[in-house]
């Protein structure tokens, strides 16, 4: 895995079992000061560190992860890695908005495992570590959008969740997408994988709108 320049945002993407954890570990090996932020961390905030997913708090978890990533970028962390599924463009938009606002380059990476390249639902299900049901993984694969350029991400918008819920599939609710970008505490931050000091405040912050004059700059945008 290559060494990344200062002020780079890395968007990882791939569903459960794809190999994102391995990819994140490789990034950290080459970029030891990188900070990795995953919404899954919200569900590990207990004494044992055991993963306990609560679908009713998914919107809160996304807002929490967005806020702490924004704080890291506001404090000019060298490399910020977003370890979420990011299967659709709108899911990555809050992070990319913040990166452009803070002058970060944007790189998109996903696992190159054979089963993920083939979108093999059976193999993804077998390799998953969070007990995600087969049907849920199949729906994730169906939702995958191949064009993940910065321009496409910035032009995206969330789907109609009321219709999605009627169809029996919930992507996390409107609260997981923040149209206004971020408003993170610019104080110190702590990420177990990066060695900095951060106050993990679970209360979703109020978010002022991102200026309309923000333009993508120095971003690769493509899938690496």
Residue 196 placed within a domain: no
Number of domains in the chain: 1
55's CB contacts (< 8 A; 6+ apart) are 170
Q: For the whole prediction, is pTM greater than 0.75?
A: no
Question: What is the Rg, in whole angstroms, of the alpha carbon atoms belonging to the chain?
Answer: 16
Range of the domain at 167: 8-185
pLDDT of residue 174 exceeding 70, the answer is no
pLDDT of residue 166 exceeding 90, the answer is no
- CA atoms in the 13 A half-sphere facing the CB of 119: 12
Residue 119 placed within a domain: yes
Residue 202 placed within a domain: no
| Closest by CA position to 39, among listed 83, 91, 3, 92 | 83
pLDDT of 202: 41
Residue 83 placed within a domain: yes
Question: In this predicted model, what pLDDT tens digit does every residue of 34-49 receive, in sequence order?
Answer: 999 999 888 887 666 6
Residue 167 placed within a domain: yes
91's CB contacts (< 8 A; 6+ apart) are 84, 85, 176, 177
Residue 218 placed within a domain: no
54's CB contacts (< 8 A; 6+ apart) are 43
The domain that contains 156 carries what CATH number? 3.40.50.300
Query: 161: pLDDT confidence band, cut at 50, 70 and 90?
Result: low
CB atoms within 10 A of CB 214: 15
CA separation for the pair 117, 134 (Å, rounded): 18
């Amino acid at each position: 895995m290559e060494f990344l320049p200062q002020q780079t945002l890395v968007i990882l993407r791939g569903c459960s079992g794809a190999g994102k954890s391995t990819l994140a570990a490789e990034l950290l090996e080459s970029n030891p000061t990188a900070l990795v932020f995953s919404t899954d961390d919200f569900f590990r905030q207990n004494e044992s560190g055991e993963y306990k997913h609560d679908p009713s708090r998914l919107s809160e978890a996304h807002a929490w992860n967005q806020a702490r990533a924004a704080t890291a970028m506001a404090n000019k962390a060298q490399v910020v890695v977003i370890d979420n599924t990011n299967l659709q463009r709108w899911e990555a938009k809050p992070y990319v908005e913040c990166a452009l606002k803070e002058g970060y380059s944007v790189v998109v990476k996903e696992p190159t495992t054979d089963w993920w390249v083939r979108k093999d639902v059976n193999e993804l299900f077998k390799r998953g570590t969070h007990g995600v049901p087969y049907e849920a993984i199949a729906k994730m694969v169906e939702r995958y959008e191949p064009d993940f350029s910065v321009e496409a991400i910035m032009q995206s918008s969330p789907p109609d969740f009321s219709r999605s819920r009627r169809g029996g599939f919930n992507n996390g609710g409107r609260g997981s997408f923040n149209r206004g970008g971020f408003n993170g505490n610019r104080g110190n931050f702590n990420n177990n994988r990066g060695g900095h000091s951060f106050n993990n405040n679970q209360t979703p912050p109020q978010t002022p709108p991102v200026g309309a004059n923000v333009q993508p700059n120095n971003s690769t945008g493509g899938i690496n």
